[in-house]
Amino acid sequence: MAYSEYFIVLLGVFNIILLIFLLRLLNQIRANRYAYDKQIKLLKDEVSALCAGAAGLGAHLNMIEQKVKRLLERQDQLDLRDPSDRSLDQASRMARKGATVEELIATCGLVRAEAELLTLLHRAQVEHEDDSSLRVVSV
């Protein structure tokens, strides 16, 4: 019987060592799981931030596309507009009389660039006429 008691004690010690090993392994697994859960949460937060940024970018892109569409429609309208609709003759007369750019825009419906061009042309023309009249007077 000494062998069977010795064998039982040896089996008990082996079970205790195995139990300690399994408990340490379980603690290590729990620690790893905690670290993985933490990393997964971090990655989820990053993905959420990227999705939110992509949604914001999509909305911004949509807004830009709408602006481009409106500009293209406006350009088409301007291209189809008959030049006689704009009273360039009236604007030219007003510019010769010294009307400002804002007056030309408000009265004749010109685009700012057109009004500025007319004002510059007529100002240059008046200055040229003044220079030539001074020459004639001085001769």
**132: phi then psi, degrees, rounded to nearest 5:** -70, -35
Residue 31 has pLDDT above 70, yes or no: yes
How is residue 92 written in tokens? 């030219």
What gap in Å lies between CA 68 and CA 62, rounded to an integer?
10
**Over the chain, what is the mean pLDDT?**
85
How is residue 39 written in tokens? 């990393």
Q: Across residues 54-79, what is the average pLDDT? A: 87
Kindly list the domain boundaries of the chain, sorted by start residue.
1-80, 83-139
Cβ contact 114:138 at 8 Å: no
- Tens of pLDDT, residue by residue over 80-118, are 665 555 577 788 888 888 889 999 888 888 889 989 998
Query: Between residues 84 and 139, which one has the greater pLDDT?
Result: 84
Residue 137 has pLDDT above 50, yes or no: no
What is this structure's pTM?
Answer: 0.40
Residue 136 has pLDDT above 50, yes or no: no
